[in-house]
Structure 1
Amino acid sequence: MDIVSAARVRRIVAEHGEPFLLRMLTERELADCRTDEGLNLLSVCGRIAAKEAAFKSLRVADRILPWLDIEVRRADGGWPLIELHGRAARLAQEAGIEGITVSISHDVDYAVAVGAAVPAGS
Structure 2
Amino acid sequence: MIFGVGVDIVEIRRIKEAIEKHNTFIDRIFSKNEIEYLKNRNLRPEFVAGRFAAKEAVVKSLGSGFRGFDFKDIEIDRTASGRPTVVLKGKAKLMANKYGNYKIHLSISHGVDNAIAYAIMEVDKIEDSDCKDI
Q: TM-score range by the shorter chain?
A: 0.7 to 0.9
Query: Moved runs in structure 1, 4+ residues, more than 3 A?
Result: none
Q: Distance in 2 between matches of 1:67 and 1:15?
A: 19
Q: Per chain length, whose mean CA-contact separation is higher, i.e. which structure has more relative contact order (CA < 8 Å, sep 6+)?
A: 2
Q: Distance in 2 between matches of 1:64 and 1:107?
A: 32
The answer to whether the 8 A contact 1:53-1:115 is kept is yes
Structure 1, gaps ≥5 residues long: none
Q: Distance in 2 between matches of 1:86 and 1:62?
A: 13
- Equivalent residue runs for 1:28-43 within 5 Å: 28-35=33-40, 38-43=42-47
**Residues 28 and 62 of structure 1, relative CA distance in 2, 3 Å threshold:** closer
Cα deviation, 1:38-75, whole Å, max 9, x if unaligned, reads 21211111111011000110112672552001000011
**Residues 78 and 62 of structure 1, relative CA distance in 2, 3 Å threshold:** closer
Matched positions, count? 119
Structure 2, gaps ≥5 residues long: 1-6, 126-134
Percent sequence identity over aligned pairs: 34
Aligned residue for 2:109, secondary structure, equals strand
Cα deviation, 1:5-26, whole Å, max 9, x if unaligned, reads 1111111111112x32111111
**Residues 57 and 10 of structure 1, relative CA distance in 2, 3 Å threshold:** same
The answer to whether the 8 A contact 1:70-1:88 is kept is yes
In structure 2, what is the equivalent of residue 16 of structure 1? Answer: 22
Q: State the TM-score, normalized to the length of structure 2.
A: 0.80
Cα deviation for residue 33 of structure 1 reads 1.6
